[in-house]
Amino acid sequence: MEAKINKVAQMIAASKRLVIFTGAGISTESGIPDFRGPDGLWTKVDPEDFTIDRFLASGETRTKVWYYLVEGGLMTNSQPNRAHLAIAELEKMNKLSSIITQNIDNLHQRAGNDPKKVHELHGNMEWLVCLDCRERYDLEQMRKKHPSPDRFPVCEKCGGILKPGVVFFGETLPQVTLMKATREAQECDLLLVIGSSLVVYPAAYMPLYAKRAGANIVIINMGDTGHDDIADVLINAPAGETMARIMEKLRSIMSVNGKS
């Protein structure tokens, strides 16, 4: 393990274009269960309520979703953990090109990463978006203005249907974001995967794009992934502890390089 930590730190130090790809496993240490895990969101709510067709067709479904948002909190109280803070520190060290994330929890931005560097493939739960005029509302502010879980609010500007700013089942991924993420993966020299099982597509194509372009691949995940076979370094360990150890080693390397 120590040898792997040292190798990853050296790879980051040598990298000219580092891209980090994150999945649900990086946020479990912030108290956000994996959607599909034993205590995941889909054990608490009906996934069918998050299909775009049902959401659009049924006011009752929209009310149920608003109830989840008002009463359930759905990630609003979660805070960045050591892994998120490590990635933010990489940006401060000018060692980070961008983040590609499957997560919708806004924790990279809360940790201090520039939102322009965060490519959210599945959207962001912090926002409500009007499906008619595209006006965007801060979810927490709307929860305070409409505390009753009995009815999903409508757009204040045009009266249109508001929807959480995340990709529902049956929707395509945001194409501009997907194109930018693909380009980042194809142009990086090191792709660091943290907390993803790499089985949900098209997001899981990103390591393949990077590998085909000649990049090194590091995977940090609890359990097997769909692309373990292409990893140059594979670490089966918690994200927070692993990234904290990598950053400690990287600081040492950068300090020595700075003095030499």
Catalogue the active-site residues: 122
Start-to-end CA distance of the chain, whole Å, equals 28
Tokens linked to 48: 């069918």
Tokens linked to 216: 């090194």
Q: List Cα–Cα distances, 134 to 63, 65, 168, 245, in angstroms.
A: 20, 19, 16, 43
> 192: which strand partners?
20, 218
Distant-in-sequence, close-in-space partners of 128: CB < 8 Å, separation ≥ 6:
136, 137, 138, 139, 142, 153, 162, 163, 164, 165
Q: Residue for token digits 């930590």?
A: 5
